[in-house]
């Protein structure tokens, strides 16, 4: 099973991200770009990769323990960027103008809990981002570079993070399909 942990968005925020993605798509076009489908919008906390079913149970159990020590927080979507950078983009993303530190803290605490069940620790802290496009060719790269020089993105709105999910990613010819395996609710107020 190919697994990762993520914070998902409520429907209202998904709609706002779709609108922002659409405006950017109008400015950039489709040549050399693969636009991420709305059902794949999320903030990744930890990518696990291929994981045996038995280990997945231990991972889910460890994550559930983290839920009892976590309290809800607010994330505001906004800001536009690219990895590895705006001059050589391979991924275009929307950041978090508020709550990025909370997402990074949650990812760090999750990383520590999962290390207890044999999952390798991350070397770098989380950079909160929601991928909206992947660059697939030179034409896309050039169009994104030009657009990012002039693009400004107002905050898209806020949402309360009250849980996170363990997702399975199934690779198909049409792209990855995600399904929720486990939901970890925050029980601390």
Helix axes 100-115, 53-67, angle to 10 degrees: 130
Spatial contact of 119 and 5, defined as CB atoms under 8 Å apart: no
Cβ neighbours of residue 66 under 8 Å, at least 6 residues apart?
Answer: 109, 110, 113, 184
**Which one is catalytic: 42, 82, 161, 184?**
42
| Beta-ladder partners of 161 | 73
**Which one is catalytic: 5, 13, 106, 129?**
129
Place of tokens 């010819």: 173
Decide if 150 is catalytic.
no
Q: What are the CA-CA distances from residue 56 to residues 40, 48, 61, 184 (Å)?
A: 21, 10, 9, 14
Decide if 42 is catalytic.
yes
Active site residue ranges: 42, 129
């Amino acid at each position: 099973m190919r697994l990762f942990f993520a914070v998902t968005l409520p429907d209202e925020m998904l709609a706002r991200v779709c609108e922002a993605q659409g405006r950017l798509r109008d400015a950039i076009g489709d040549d050399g770009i693969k636009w991420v489908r709305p059902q794949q919008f999320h903030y990744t906390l930890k990518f696990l990769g291929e994981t045996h079913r038995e280990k997945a149970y231990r991972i889910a159990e460890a994550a559930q323990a983290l839920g009892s020590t976590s309290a809800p927080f607010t994330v505001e979507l906004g800001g536009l960027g690219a990895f590895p950078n705006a001059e050589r983009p391979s991924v275009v993303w929307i950041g978090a103008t508020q709550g990025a530190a909370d997402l990074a803290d949650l990812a760090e605490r999750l990383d520590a809990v999962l290390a207890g069940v044999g999952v390798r620790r991350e070397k770098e802290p989380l950079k909160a981002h929601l991928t909206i496009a992947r660059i697939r060719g030179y034409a896309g790269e050039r169009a994104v570079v030009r657009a990012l020089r002039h693009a400004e993105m107002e905050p898209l709105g806020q949402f309360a993070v009250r849980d996170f999910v363990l997702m399975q990613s199934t690779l198909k010819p049409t792209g990855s399909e995600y399904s929720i395996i486990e939901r970890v609710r925050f029980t601390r107020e």
